[in-house]
Structure 1
Amino acid sequence: MSPQPPLHPRDTEADDARTPRGLPPDQLSGLLRTGPFSEALRMAIKGRGLSLSRLQDRLNRHGAPVTAATISAWQSGKSRPERPHSLMALAALESILDLPATALSSLLAPPKPRGRWVNAAAARPSLAEAWSGLLHDTLDAVETRWTAHLTCVSRHHRVDIDAQGREHVLWSRQVLRAETDGPDRYIVSYQADQPGPAPVLRPSSPERVGAVSQDPAHGTLVAELLFDRPLARGETVIVEYLLEHAVTRPAAHQAGLYLQVPVRECVIEVRFDPMAPPTSCYAFHIPHASPAEARERALRLDASLRTHTVGLDLTPSRFGIRWSWDGS
């Protein structure tokens, strides 16, 4: 009997595909919900039936090389993926192990802060604190661990008001800078002036929508905009999206932002329909750390029935424009 020829790489792939999964699905799904990361990774590898050397080979072919020793350290809890190339390898591992995207990366805590970032992070409120509890339970459905690790370099926020004084569409564009390695998403947060259905979120490419949560009873919406890859420290990303009221448009008397992180330049613009110009407009700024220092100033409409306000070097705060009509 002649000896068998060595397996071709494609035969190896097929053999892997036939490997029985050795882990009860409920056990692995429980670990993917609660962690810890190292245990979830170890069990996912065990369930897939792949050796560490086989995983290393697969990662090389995915263009995300890490050593078998590194994977071993991750699953034993001796280290964790933090640098961008490690996070890219982790995303490839999720695919190789037949796991949903971000199933493992969502279990990672943010990297331990170092240097001047320690004091900066401590001074920033959480997203829930920045919104003064107004988002209620909607934040439970999204991953907010990276929100304080992104500084807003610039932001332009524009709201269109229709002929009935209702909010029609909101456009937002901002430039964000990562203050540490790893941020892979931005959280869109919104609250209407009154309860009702949430607007439709329409992101611009390349961001895609992740988890979404809304509470019509309070008019709130939170949603994840996922970047195409994790950011390295100091790297910037442009986030742009529309919020459009497709069915019911809520009455509106203000356009404001709850700023969780510092913003170098923030522009808020409101455009009114010619059939419903307001009788008064005011810009306001309420610092999160010192509400007693709130400021307000009158604004004028231009010939196109637009008004705007600009804030420079804003700290975490509430910043926006309010308006009224005669008798309202």
Structure 2
Amino acid sequence: MSAPTERAPDFADTTVEPLDQLLQKGPFAAALRAAIAARGLSLDRIQDRLMRRGIKLSIATLSYWQSGQRRPERPASLRALKQIEVILGLPSDSLSALLGTTNRRENRGLTEAAPAITDLWPGNSDIAELLAGMPTNADSSLRRLTQHDRVCIGADGRIKSLRCTQLMRADQDGADHFLFVFDWEGQGYSPPIVTNLRNCRLGRVVFNTMKGLFAGEFVFERPLRRGETVLIEYEFDNSCRGMRPRQQDDSYSRRFGRPIREYVLEMCFDEQAPPQRCQHFASQLEDGDPKMIRNLQMGLSNTVLAVGRDFGPGYFGIHWRLGK
């Protein structure tokens, strides 16, 4: 005996605004409804294309979303929404951004006070001293959506470069810069060179060479409005040409004061100095010691990956041990 078919509720389509305007300001249900209409796909076909991508979503759920009776909140629903954006030919996160504060986990950053950036390094008074006079409120108005760090380790065992691609959304009007802080553990050395900037420029920079601390701000092309997203890229070149050798690095991590939807950490090792072992670690900010999550398997290109979804607050990284 076949199971009864789940019937989606009927609703009246009252969308009158153009799709591009709805994607800018919402509401989410109207924008989804207009995007489906513009693409000319039925809910059955959208469901079928999701199934081909390994995602199960009922027609009733799709109908509830576009009628405004429900909104995607759970991680599985948010992953399905990202694929729907692809199926409908929309820019990445164009629909997700309209959910605003309905994602309960992300909303925690608004309902609870975001930690000060100096709190990400508890017990390190040098960070507070370094940032004195710098505007440190950027993290309270910017929500990290996705971030990809690609860290290259040279044959000498030192971090040679870091390339970052970062997608953020403004929770308030006027967000115009992003603050970075790095503890490069390069005591007595010049700070890394900032290069390969995209969609931003380098603002003020401060550093303490004796402590190996380096901080500054990336200034956006214009102030953002609430709900707008910005994608920036930058690279830190730490080749230190012509300088005396220093101690090898053995770990790299990022500290997050607010939850991030997806963080990808990619470590690339020189083929002349592959590591004996790599481990992924993650911990709460207040934890004294990192918690090892799992061992990582090296790929053919001498690269390892660790991925965090709906991660934070906390710190997330990779530890390695090079051969003799």
TM bucket (normalised to shorter chain) is: 0.5 to 0.7
Counterpart residue type for residue 181 of structure 1? D
Partner of 1:151: 143
Counterpart residue type for residue 294 of structure 1? K
Q: Kindly indicate whether the alpha-carbon contact (under 8 Å) linking 1:142 and 1:212 is maintained by their aligned counterparts in 2.
A: no
Counterpart residue type for residue 165 of structure 1? G
Q: Kindly indicate whether the alpha-carbon contact (under 8 Å) linking 2:150 and 2:162 is maintained by their aligned counterparts in 1.
A: yes
Partner of 1:266: 263
1:292–1:209 CA distance, 2 compared to 1 (3 A) = closer
| Cα deviation 1:191-231 (Å, max 9, x = unaligned) | 11342321011252331111100111121111111011111
Q: Kindly indicate whether the alpha-carbon contact (under 8 Å) linking 2:175 and 2:224 is maintained by their aligned counterparts in 1.
A: yes
Structure with larger Rg = 1
Quick check: 1:307 aligned with 2:304?
A: yes
Q: CA deviation at 1:163?
A: 0.8
Counterpart residue type for residue 180 of structure 2? V
Describe how 1:104-143 pairs up with structure 2 within 5 A. 120=110, 122-132=112-122, 133=124, 135-143=127-135
Q: Kindly indicate whether the alpha-carbon contact (under 8 Å) linking 1:268 and 1:309 is maintained by their aligned counterparts in 2.
A: yes
Partner of 1:237: 230
Give the TM-score normalised by the residue count of structure 1.
0.60
Describe how 1:29-178 pairs up with structure 2 within 5 A. 120=110, 122-132=112-122, 133=124, 135-178=127-170
Counterpart residue type for residue 223 of structure 2? P
Q: Kindly indicate whether the alpha-carbon contact (under 8 Å) linking 1:177 and 1:235 is maintained by their aligned counterparts in 2.
A: yes
Give the TM-score normalised by the residue count of structure 2.
0.61
Gapped regions of structure 1 (runs ≥ 5): 1-113
2:184 to 185, 189, 192: 192
Partner of 1:89: none
Quick check: 1:285 aligned with 2:275?
A: no
- State the alpha-carbon separation in 2 of the partners of residues 322 and 148 from structure 1: 29
Q: CA deviation at 1:290?
A: 5.8
Q: Kindly indicate whether the alpha-carbon contact (under 8 Å) linking 2:251 and 2:318 is maintained by their aligned counterparts in 1.
A: yes
Count of residue pairs the alignment pairs up = 214
Q: CA deviation at 1:181?
A: 1.2
Q: CA deviation at 1:131?
A: 2.4
Q: Kindly indicate whether the alpha-carbon contact (under 8 Å) linking 2:275 and 2:321 is maintained by their aligned counterparts in 1.
A: yes
| Cα deviation 1:225-272 (Å, max 9, x = unaligned) | 101111111111011100002424753111110112211000001100
1:172–1:293 CA distance, 2 compared to 1 (3 A) = closer
Q: Percent identity?
A: 29
Partner of 1:11: none
Partner of 1:64: none
- State the alpha-carbon separation in 1 of the partners of residues 249 and 182 from structure 2: 13
Q: Does the residue aligned with 1:204 lie in a helix, a strand or coil?
A: strand
- State the alpha-carbon separation in 2 of the partners of residues 325 and 206 from structure 1: 36
Q: Kindly indicate whether the alpha-carbon contact (under 8 Å) linking 1:150 and 1:176 is maintained by their aligned counterparts in 2.
A: yes
- State the alpha-carbon separation in 2 of the partners of residues 184 and 121 from structure 1: 22
Q: Does the residue aligned with 2:180 lie in a helix, a strand or coil?
A: strand
Q: Kindly indicate whether the alpha-carbon contact (under 8 Å) linking 2:148 and 2:265 is maintained by their aligned counterparts in 1.
A: yes
Gapped regions of structure 2 (runs ≥ 5): 1-100
Quick check: 1:323 aligned with 2:313?
A: no
- State the alpha-carbon separation in 2 of the partners of residues 121 and 178 from structure 1: 15
Instruction: Indicate the larger mover: 184-193 or 247-256.
Output: 247-256
- State the alpha-carbon separation in 1 of the partners of residues 301 and 109 from structure 2: 45
- State the alpha-carbon separation in 2 of the partners of residues 252 and 118 from structure 1: 34
